[in-house]
């Protein structure tokens, strides 16, 4: 069913030159739309559906180059005395997204012919918006509502394997967005989700029975790759002799372990013994260097290498559950080792599952969420997480792995990975460098939409990509845990309360000391 273009309220007229992609509109003074409003206009090929991307006002008698306050005051007084003749105008830019009829059939067809000057522009009726944005079928998941209309807004979950970036300033609503998305994926679709939680923000959430909270993430040394071992031992790339000794010793230890030839399942202890044998065989200097590194490894990262960690991946990352790795007590190298390890294994096991016809490997598609992506997937430095995130960004779609990266510093995120996130939820951003960086990585983020980002309120976002039918300005739903708003760890501390509590405790201690002295 199609609707006439003129069914809605008339907002204004197309003026100046138009292209098939955009038009300038002169709005009636009493009918000025908000940015993000959807509009309709006739074209020679049919009814166009577009979004208002910018609105500005001016006055022909008060151009921007006026410099005399007295002249301005005089003109304002004259205008007040003659309100019937107003030189004030309100203009805006509309980007044409598709034809209305195609959208109502569930498809998008980019306009080929521009609308003509003088064409009336109408507000899109609510029933049209509901049909366009409320996706049908079990693959659609609500995340919020259109900011100007309150109409439910959802995403196509099947397109998450084309990856997603959630970007915003601190306090813009990233954690709430992650919470809404991941909770609903698990609760409504029984999805398998992994959150790599850098700051322990999700530890206090009442995640319900579908949560698998991993408070002390660790790796079984038997599943450790050589590159992960090198990172944890901090042997530099140019220490070629040490790397050779370590590689030979690790290869021997792993071969003996899987052949059942070792008497101990403490592989780091076995590795230390094997390097000691290399030292005794004449590789003295490099072997001593490796032994020192292994000693440091035990001191720094002994907690994240544990033989008690199950060997099977599905016993660690539970299928059909929200799996949260709390990385808050680890430094960046430790966090990088954990995240890269499980990204590597997920990709390998999903490949095995597909190629074996489901006989081996990890049995469920997975959505992985990497918080603080600018730390783990940096633009300039090399990390193991960056390597495996890039691999998943390129290959994950074929094997059912979706990558979600979250950051408040997008310009510090690797541009290759960011540009391969086909979908983006962009909340409030104010830094021009960040906005420009994101715009360069996003074909659908126009200049006018990008200019809206600093004026968004917390929880408001521009959503673009293949997971949505059309770009939209959306109010993300609040995350609810057991019927109440979730308490996430990303908020500001109450400094005054903390100081007063600390002061009260300190005063009690001081009084006790004074009492003892007197």
Domain positions in the chain: 5-132, 140-215+314-493, 222-303
| Banded model confidence at residue 492, pLDDT cuts 50, 70, 90 | low
**Is the Cβ–Cβ distance between 386 and 212 less than 8 Å?**
no
Mean pLDDT of 329-341: 93
* CA-CA-CA-CA torsion sign (73, 76, 81, 85): positive
What pTM was estimated for this model as a whole?
0.88
Q: Tell me the pLDDT tens digit for each residue of 91-130.
A: 999 999 999 999 988 889 999 999 999 999 999 999 999 9
Task: Render 349-388 in DSSP notation, one character per residue.
Answer: HHHHHHHTTSSSS--S-EEEEESSHHHHSBSSS--HHHHH
Mean pLDDT value across the chain: 89
**Is the Cβ–Cβ distance between 368 and 340 less than 8 Å?**
no
Q: Per-residue pLDDT for 414 more than 70?
A: yes
Would you state the pLDDT for residue 83?
64
**Is the Cβ–Cβ distance between 406 and 178 less than 8 Å?**
yes
Q: 140-215+314-493 is classed in which CATH architecture?
A: 3-Layer(aba) Sandwich (3.40)
Q: Per-residue pLDDT for 207 more than 80?
A: no
Would you state the pLDDT for residue 205?
65
| Banded model confidence at residue 85, pLDDT cuts 50, 70, 90 | low
Q: Which of 41, 52, 55 is nearest to 89 (CA)?
A: 55
Backbone angles phi, psi at 368, to 5 degrees: -105, 135
Cβ atoms within 10 Å of 337's Cβ, excluding its own: 26
Burial of 498 (0-12, 13-18, 19+ CB in 10 A): exposed
Mean pLDDT of 125-146: 88
Helix/strand/coil percent split, the chain, to 5: 40, 20, 35
More confident residue, 246 or 215: 246
Q: Per-residue pLDDT for 210 more than 90?
A: no
Would you state the pLDDT for residue 511?
67
Rounded percentage of the chain residues whose pLDDT exceeds 90: 64
More confident residue, 84 or 380: 380
More confident residue, 75 or 328: 328
**Is the Cβ–Cβ distance between 306 and 295 less than 8 Å?**
no
3-state SS assignment for residue 77: helix
Q: Tell me the pLDDT tens digit for each residue of 20-78.
A: 999 999 998 888 899 999 999 999 999 999 999 999 998 877 777 777 787 778 777 77
Using alpha carbons, list the distances in angstroms from residue 144 to 29, 109, 176, 185, 366. Answer: 30, 25, 11, 14, 23
Q: Tell me the pLDDT tens digit for each residue of 507-516.
A: 666 666 666 6
Distance CA 245, CA 283 (A): 8
Mean pLDDT of 421-439: 95
| Banded model confidence at residue 182, pLDDT cuts 50, 70, 90 | very high
Using alpha carbons, list the distances in angstroms from residue 150 to 129, 145, 146, 412, 473. Answer: 10, 5, 5, 34, 11
SS (H, E, C) 35-49: CCCEEEEEECCEEEE
**Is the Cβ–Cβ distance between 210 and 322 less than 8 Å?**
yes
Name the least confident of 135-144, 170-179, 366-375.
Answer: 135-144
Q: Per-residue pLDDT for 177 more than 90?
A: yes
Q: Tell me the pLDDT tens digit for each residue of 257-295.
A: 888 887 666 898 899 999 998 888 876 788 999 999 999
Mean pLDDT of 437-444: 90
Would you state the pLDDT for residue 493?
57
Q: Tell me the pLDDT tens digit for each residue of 152-162.
A: 999 999 999 99
């Amino acid at each position: 069913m199609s609707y006439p273009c003129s069914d809605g309220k008339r907002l204004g007229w197309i003026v100046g030159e138009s292209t098939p992609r955009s038009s300038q509109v002169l709005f009636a003074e009493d009918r000025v739309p908000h940015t993000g409003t959807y509009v309709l206009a006739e074209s020679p090929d049919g009814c166009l559906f577009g979004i208002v991307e910018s609105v500005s006002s001016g006055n022909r008698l008060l151009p921007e180059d006026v410099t005399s306050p007295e002249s301005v005051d005089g003109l304002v007084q004259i205008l007040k005395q003659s309100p019937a003749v107003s030189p004030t105008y309100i203009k805006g830019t509309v980007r044409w997204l598709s034809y209305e009829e195609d959208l109502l059939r569930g498809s998008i067809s980019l306009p080929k012919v521009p609308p003509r000057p003088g064409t009336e522009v109408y507000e899109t009726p609510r029933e049209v918006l509901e049909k366009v944005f409320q996706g049908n079928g079990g693959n659609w998941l609500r995340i919020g509502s259109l900011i100007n209309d309150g109409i439910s807004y959802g995403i196509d979950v099947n397109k998450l394997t084309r990856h997603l970036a959630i970007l915003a300033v601190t306090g813009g609503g990233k954690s709430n967005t992650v919470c809404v998305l991941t909770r609903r994926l698990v609760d409504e679709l029984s999805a398998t989700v992994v959150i790599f939680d850098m700051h322990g923000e999700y530890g206090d959430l009442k995640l319900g029975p579908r949560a698998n909270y991993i408070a002390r993430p660790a790796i079984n040394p038997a599943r450790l790759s050589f590159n992960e071992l090198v990172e944890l031992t901090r042997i530099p790339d140019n220490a070629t002799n040490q790397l050779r000794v370590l590689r030979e010793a690790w290869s021997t230890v792993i071969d003996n372990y899987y052949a059942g030839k070792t008497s101990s399942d403490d592989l780091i202890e076995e590795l230390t013994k094997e390097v000691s044998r290399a030292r005794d065989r004449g590789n003295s200097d490099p072997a001593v260097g490796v032994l020192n590194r292994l000693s440091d490894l035990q001191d720094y990262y002994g907690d994240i290498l544990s033989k008690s960690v199950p060997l099977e991946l599905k016993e660690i990352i539970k299928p059909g559950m929200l799996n949260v790795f709390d990385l808050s007590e680890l430094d960046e190298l430790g966090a990088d080792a954990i995240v890269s390890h499980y990204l590597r294994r997920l990709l390998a096991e999903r490949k095995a599952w597909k190629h074996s016809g489901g006989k081996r490997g990890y049995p469920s598609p997975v959505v992985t969420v990497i918080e603080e992506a600018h730390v783990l997937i940096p633009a300039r430095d090399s990390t193991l997480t960056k390597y495996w995130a890039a691999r998943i960004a390129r290959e994950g779609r074929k094997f059912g792995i979706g990558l979600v990266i979250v950051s408040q510093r997008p310009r510090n995120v690797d541009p290759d990975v960011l540009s391969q996130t086909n979908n983006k939820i962009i909340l409030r951003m104010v830094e021009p460098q960040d906005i420009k960086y994101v715009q360069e990585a996003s074909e659908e983020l126009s200049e006018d939409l990008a200019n809206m980002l600093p004026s968004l309120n917390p929880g408001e976002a521009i959503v673009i990509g293949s997971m949505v039918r059309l770009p939209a300005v959306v109010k993300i739903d609040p995350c609810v845990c057991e019927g109440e708003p979730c308490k996430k760890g990303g908020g500001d501390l109450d400094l005054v309360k903390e100081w007063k509590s600390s002061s009260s405790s300190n005063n009690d201690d001081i009084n006790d000391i004074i009492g003892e002295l007197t």
